[in-house]
């Protein structure tokens, strides 16, 4: 059995006497993937001190040189894509095609971040005074704590770490307790690519222990977290208490709108992929399907038939489309929501229970589940379930569709299927979400585009894209006076 070590100051080690976290394959819980330590606060302190010590040299290294290391990391990720993709599948359960796709996302992110080494542009501006110049520089924030979820155990750390590193920050990274080995392998790649010791440190542990110690540590300047909205709120409050920057990427309750004139084939495929890909365990998963009344019945019949045909199982087996739920606790939560939906009066069209059958005996599998007759105000309409449960809502037209979509505390991703460009553009304008897809599912972000959401989903930041740099840099404004005299700004000379 593998032991997942911490990585501090360039050394792999396991803190003595730390309680153990056991990571298992959610598709077959008899398989232990690794054992990781639940690191105590003293270990977090060691990691933060290592990151602090590495900061001066790393922030002074010219960004194009930092970029060389990131580019090499991208190359190593590409060399190991198959093995890493398989590890993602074994440790978090998603089908191998998705595991490989996720590693590809990290490779793409390395390309994006490395290229930034030759940009990191600031601005120059004229001064209100003669013989004076105004300009801005991006500067690293300092030691950044990265806290990541289990559902994208390579891609999300890569979004955060690679942008943070190119900007000159040093890192303490705490992966999710369900996927520590993916965390180890990602950091191993960064180490082998040539990151100096202490620049990226890894500490395992639970959120309430190691995660909390990292968030509370005075030596950390910024926390970037992807997780549930509840977790984000707790972390943001602690960051306020200890004066840290904080970037939140939290929950979603994403909706796909299908209008009567939509191409029904791609709307159904989009809903299936959006709702049941990664067994619905993506922050961008489609959990509400808002359908105009004219197309509703046909769409529903075909959707339910297709959902029943999806192949469930161990993601390493060819053809598997829906994998397991990450752990028993989450499986129970999803099943509870299914009961809530029934009790609220929604109609269960398919699924609704644990999936059974050959190959499913030793994992937490839940059938793709579709409810119709869902109305605003129901808990299954409002709350993030993070499982393969889709709520279908019938509406009378575009206006009601948009109003229904926006009746939501979250605002991450959204989609509209229509052939009518006018309606599509009204939706693009009116939808309250960070991401809108026209004729595409709610999932499938590209790394060079900003990622994040409005309302309770986030706190105004966007990861990846160009905007990821804004999270991991502070602006420094510089005035250069070459007049040879004291010039006073803001003096009204008229
Ligand atoms: P998910 O819903 O994806 O399981 P969580 O919000 O539970 O997400 O966890 C996301 C990440 O946040 C994990 O790495 C977890 O350990 C961490 N975490 C959870 N609670 C806290 C906390 N109170 N302080 C710091 N980190 C936390």
Q: What radius of gyration do the chain's Cα atoms show?
A: 24
Q: How far apart are CA 413 and CA 101, in angstroms?
A: 19
Q: Which residues contact 363 (CB under 8 A, 6 or more apart)?
A: 25, 26, 27, 28, 29, 93, 314, 324
| Residue 408 known to be catalytic | no
Instruction: Place 188 in a pLDDT band, splitting at 50, 70 and 90.
Output: very high
Q: If phi over 0 gives left and psi between -120 and 50 gives alpha, with beta otherwise, what is residue 336?
A: alpha
Identify the active-site residue in 283, 349, 408, 463: 283
Atom of ligand 1 nearest to the CA of 281: 3
* pLDDT tens per residue, range 125-147: 999 999 999 999 999 999 999 99
* pLDDT tens per residue, range 36-72: 999 999 999 999 999 999 999 999 999 999 999 999 9
For ligand 1, atom 8: residue with the closest CA: 227
Q: Which residues contact 102 (CB under 8 A, 6 or more apart)?
A: 85, 88, 94, 152, 153, 154, 155
So what's the pLDDT on residue 1? 72
* pLDDT tens per residue, range 286-334: 999 999 999 999 999 999 999 999 999 999 999 999 999 999 999 999 9
Q: Is the CB of 212 under 6 A from ligand 1?
A: yes
| Residue 249 known to be catalytic | yes
So what's the pLDDT on residue 491? 78
Q: Which residues contact 416 (CB under 8 A, 6 or more apart)?
A: 256, 257, 258, 259, 401, 423, 424, 427, 428, 431, 436, 437, 438, 439
Average pLDDT, the chain: 97
pTM across the whole model: 0.97
So what's the pLDDT on residue 250? 96
Is the pLDDT reported for residue 493 higher than 80? no
Rounded to whole angstroms, what are the CA distances from 270 to 400, 402, 406, 420, 482?
A: 21, 18, 20, 18, 60
Give the chain's end-to-end CA distance (angstroms, integer): 78
Q: How far apart are CA 43 and CA 195, in angstroms?
A: 21
Averaged pLDDT, 274-287:
96
Averaged pLDDT, 399-415:
98
Q: Is the CB of 229 under 6 A from ligand 1?
A: no
For ligand 1, atom 23: residue with the closest CA: 208
Q: Is the CB of 215 under 6 A from ligand 1?
A: yes
């Amino acid at each position: 059995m593998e032991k997942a070590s911490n990585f501090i100051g360039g050394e792999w080690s396991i803190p003595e006497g730390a309680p153990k976290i056991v990571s298992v394959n959610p598709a077959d819980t008899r398989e232990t993937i690794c054992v990781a330590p639940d690191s105590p606060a003293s270990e977090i302190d060691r990691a933060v001190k290592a990151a602090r010590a590495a900061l001066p040299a790393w922030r002074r290294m010219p960004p194009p040189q930092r970029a060389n290391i990131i580019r090499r990391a991208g190359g190593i990720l590409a060399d190991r894509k198959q093995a890493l993709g398989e590890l993602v599948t074994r440790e978090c359960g998603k089908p191998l095609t998705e595991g490989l796709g996720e590693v590809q996302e990290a490779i793409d992110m390395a390309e994006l971040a490395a290229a930034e080494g030759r940009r990191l542009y600031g601005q120059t501006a004229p001064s209100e005074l003669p013989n004076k110049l105004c300009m801005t520089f991006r500067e690293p924030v300092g030691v950044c704590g990265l806290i990541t979820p289990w559902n994208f155990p390579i891609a999300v750390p890569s979004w955060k770490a690679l942008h943070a590193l190119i900007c000159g920050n040093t890192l303490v990274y705490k992966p999710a307790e369900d996927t520590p080995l993916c965390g180890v392998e990602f950091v191993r790649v960064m180490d082998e690519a040539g990151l100096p010791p202490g620049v990226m440190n890894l500490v395992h542990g639970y959120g309430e222990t190691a995660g909390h110690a990292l968030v509370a540590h005075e030596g950390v300047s910024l926390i970037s977290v992807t997780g549930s909205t509840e977790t984000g709120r707790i972390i943001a409050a602690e960051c306020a208490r200890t004066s840290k920057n904080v970037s939140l990427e939290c929950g979603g309750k994403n909706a796909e709108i299908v209008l009567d004139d939509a191409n029904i084939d791609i709307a159904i495929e989009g809903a299936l992929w959006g709702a049941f890909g990664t067994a619905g365990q993506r922050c961008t998963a489609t959990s509400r399907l808002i359908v105009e009344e004219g197309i509703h019945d046909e769409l529903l019949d075909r959707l339910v038939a297709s959902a029943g045909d999806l192949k469930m199982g161990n993601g390493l087996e060819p053809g598997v489309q829906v994998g397991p739920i990450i752990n028993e606790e989450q499986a129970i939560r999803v099943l509870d929501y299914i009961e809530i939906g029934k009790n609220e009066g929604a109609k269960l069209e398919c699924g609704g229970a644990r999936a059974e059958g050959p190959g499913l005996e030793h994992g937490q599998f839940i059938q793709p589940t579709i409810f119709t007759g869902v109305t605003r105000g129901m808990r299954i309409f409002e709350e993030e379930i993070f499982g393969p449960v889709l709520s279908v809502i019938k509406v009378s037209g575009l206006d009601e569709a948009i109003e229904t979509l926006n009746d939501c505390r979250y605002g991450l991703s959204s989609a509209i299927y229509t052939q009518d460009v006018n309606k599509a553009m009204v939706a693009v304008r009116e939808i309250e979400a960070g991401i809108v897809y026209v004729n595409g599912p709610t999932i499938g972000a590209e790394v060079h585009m900003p990622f994040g959401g409005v309302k309770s989903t986030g706190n105004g930041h966007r990861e990846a894209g160009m905007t990821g740099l804004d999270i991991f840099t502070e602006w420094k404004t510089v005035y250069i006076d070459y007049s040879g005299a004291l010039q006073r700004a803001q003096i009204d000379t008229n």
